[in-house]
Every structure is written in structure tokens, then in C-alpha cells.
Amino acid sequence: MGTVVSPAKRSTRPQGKREFPAIESSSALNEVGSVNDCSLILRAACFAAERHRDQRRKGAEETPYINHPFAVASALCDEGGVTDPELLAAALLHDTIEDTATTKEELRKLFGSRIAGIVAEVTDDKSLSKAERKRAQLDHAAHASKDAQQLKIADKLCNLRDILTSPPADWPMFRKYQYFEWAKEVVDQVRDANPLLAEKFDAAYAQRSKL
């Protein structure tokens, strides 16, 4: 979903050695209330951390990639008012299909159909060129589920903040502006899914003069 991954750091080793109990249905997630909700989120965090463990962000500081899914989930919860544990788990997992060896079916077996579906919705088709992937996001954003739309806003918000504070060292100014404008085009189509997050995005976008 237009994330900033450092290709040179992408892992080629077998991943996911830790075993996670499978969840067959969403109803199973609520049998024990909030304790189980916490377990779901923690399992998603552990899974994402393992799958992204050899990856770094493209920023000059090359921070661990897992910081990004954590930031996206935190933005949804703390700034967007999202308390749905499955959506927060999907946020933690949102780049696992796109940027690791994880499959949708694997996520379905481990975390349930809804979470796997959300992640799949925000996953770019890597068989397309970068320009085609960006166009596809613009074409599909308005038709995505509300869950996926909220996740898109949070993801774009976090990417803008990263570009403002630690942009990729090899990105010229025009590329930074180009990303800001493209991200706004995407968010403008889905802002009604979470007006609180859209407002935070607008504040970050307004900082583009500081690039």
C-alpha cells in the first residue's frame, strides 16, 4: 500500500518460526472478552515483528520496519478512536502480505477471515509497476471497505510524518512533494471513513512547506 521499504534489507530467510494457534472464526475472538482481544493484538504484533525482522525503513535513520505497523495501529487507536481489536490487528499485519512471504490464507488460518480480508484489501500487487500500483490505489480507494479505508488514512498519515522527520536519503525534493500530493488524492477519497484521522492527515500535509 505504497509503503517505504528498503529493498536491500528485505528478508529472504525462512520466516515465521514461532507457532500461533489458529483462529477459525471471528466469533471465537470474543468468547473471553477483552482478555482475548488483548491476546489477538499481541499475537498480531509478534507475528508482524517476526515477518519484518530483517527489514528497515528507507528513511535516513533506517529504523526497524516494524516501527511503521506499530505507528499505524497507534494512530488508528490513539488518534482515530478505533477500539476494534480486529482492525488494530490488521493494522499491525497490514504489510505482511505485500512485503514478506506471508499469504492471505496463512493470515486467515491464524487470525480469521476478516483480518486477512482487510490486509488483502490494502495490499499492492507487486507484479505491477510502481506507477501502476499508485494508480490502482487511486482507482480502488473509494470502493474499499470502511475498515480498509481507515487503515489507508492511518498508513498515509504515518508515511507523511516519516517523510517529514526522516525522509529517504536519496529522495529529491520533487519526489517528497509528489508523494504528499498522491497521498492526499488517496485520502480525499476515503476521509469520511474516519474524520478524526483525516484531520490529522491534513495537519501533516500542511507541513509540506518544511520538506
Q: In the Cβ-directed half-sphere of 75, how many Cα atoms lie within 13 Å?
A: 29
For the chain, what is the mean pLDDT?
88
Domains of the chain: residue spans and CATH: 21-210 (1.10.3210.10)
Q: What is the pLDDT of residues 124-173, one digit of tens each?
A: 999 999 999 999 999 999 999 999 999 999 999 999 999 999 999 899 99
Q: How far apart are CA 71 and CA 57, in angstroms?
A: 13
Helical H runs in the chain?
A: 34-51, 67-74, 85-93, 96-99, 104-111, 113-121, 130-140, 146-165, 173-190, 195-205
What letter would DSSP give residue 123? -
Q: Are 118 and 145 in contact (CB under 8 A)?
A: yes
What is residue 19's predicted lDDT score, i.e. its pLDDT?
61
What letter would DSSP give residue 79? I
What is residue 190's predicted lDDT score, i.e. its pLDDT?
98
Question: Is the model's pLDDT at 17 over the cut of 80?
Answer: no
Q: Are 150 and 197 in contact (CB under 8 A)?
A: yes
What is the grid cell recorded at 83? 477500539
Q: How far apart are CA 175 and CA 52, in angstroms?
A: 25
User: Which are the catalytic amino acids?
Assistant: 98-99
Q: Are 94 and 68 in contact (CB under 8 A)?
A: no
Phi-psi group of 183: left, alpha or beta (phi > 0 → left; psi -120 to 50 → alpha; rest → beta): alpha
